[in-house]
C-alpha cells in the first residue's frame, strides 16, 4: 500500500458548509482515535494531538486531574512523536514527511487543535487527516531509514 504522504491534495469541486466541515473533522477525530489533549515540545517546536487510549494520553489525563489544570495542552510530555516518526520514515518519503509536518505546524500554529467552534477549511480537514494517519498509523517495515 502506498504511503499517505504520496496522496495528492484534491480540493472539493462544490461548495461545502461549515456544518459539513465540522462533521468531517469530527469523523476524522473519531476514526483516527484522536484525544482532546495536545502536547507541544519546546525543543522541536512540534505540537500534536495525542492518540486516544495511548500512554501519553493516560499520563496527561493524570497530570490534568492531579494538578486541576484548565488547559488540555501539556508541554514536553515524553519524547516527541513527530521527531521519532520523521527519524523512522524511509529516505524516499522524508521530504514529503517534512513538508506535511511543516505545513501542519504553519497552518495550526497558535490555534487550539480540538476547538469544535473554529472556522474550518476543507484544506485544514484534509491536512489533519493526512498528518495523523502518517503520525499514528503508517508502518514502514523492511525499508531503509536514514540514521541521523
- Give percent of the chain above pLDDT 70: 84
Residue 123 · residue 9 · CB < 8 Å: yes
Question: Average pLDDT for residues 99-103, to the nearest whole number?
Answer: 97
Predicted local distance difference test score (pLDDT) of residue 95: 97
pLDDT in tens, 60-95: 777 766 555 555 666 666 789 999 999 999 999 999
Secondary structure in 3-state letters for 67-126: CCCCCCEEECCCCCHHHHHHHCCEHHHHHHHHHHHHHHHHHHCCCCCCCCCCCCCHHHHH
- Give percent of the chain above pLDDT 90: 60
Predicted local distance difference test score (pLDDT) of residue 139: 92
Q: How far apart are CA 78 and CA 69, in angstroms?
A: 18
pLDDT band at residue 57, thresholds of 50, 70 and 90?
confident
Scan for cell 522541536, then name that residue: 44
pTM for this one? Answer: 0.86
**pLDDT top residue among 75 and 106:** 106
Predicted local distance difference test score (pLDDT) of residue 118: 81
Residue 118 · residue 53 · CB < 8 Å: no
Residue 57 · residue 37 · CB < 8 Å: yes
pLDDT in tens, 10-32: 999 999 999 999 999 999 999 99
Residue 132 · residue 49 · CB < 8 Å: yes
Amino acid at each position: 500500500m502506498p504511503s499517505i504522504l504520496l496522496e495528492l491534495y484534491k480540493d472539493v469541486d462544490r461548495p461545502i458548509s461549515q456544518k459539513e466541515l465540522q462533521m468531517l473533522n469530527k469523523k476524522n477525530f473519531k476514526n483516527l482515535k484522536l484525544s482532546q489533549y495536545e502536547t507541544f515540545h519546546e525543543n522541536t517546536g512540534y505540537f500534536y494531538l495525542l492518540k486516544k487510549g495511548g500512554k501519553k494520553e493516560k499520563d496527561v489525563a493524570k497530570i490534568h486531574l492531579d494538578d486541576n489544570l484548565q488547559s488540555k495542552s501539556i508541554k514536553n510530555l515524553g519524547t516527541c512523536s513527530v521527531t521519532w516518526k520523521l527519524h523512522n520514515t524511509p529516505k524516499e518519503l522524508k521530504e514529503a514527511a517534512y513538508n506535511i509536518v511543516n505545513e501542519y505546524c504553519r497552518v495550526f500554529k497558535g490555534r487550539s487543535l480540538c476547538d469544535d467552534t473554529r472556522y474550518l477549511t476543507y484544506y485544514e480537514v484534509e491536512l489533519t487527516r493526512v498528518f495523523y494517519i502518517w503520525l499514528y498509523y503508517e508502518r514502514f517495515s523492511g525499508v531503509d531509514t536514514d540514521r541521523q
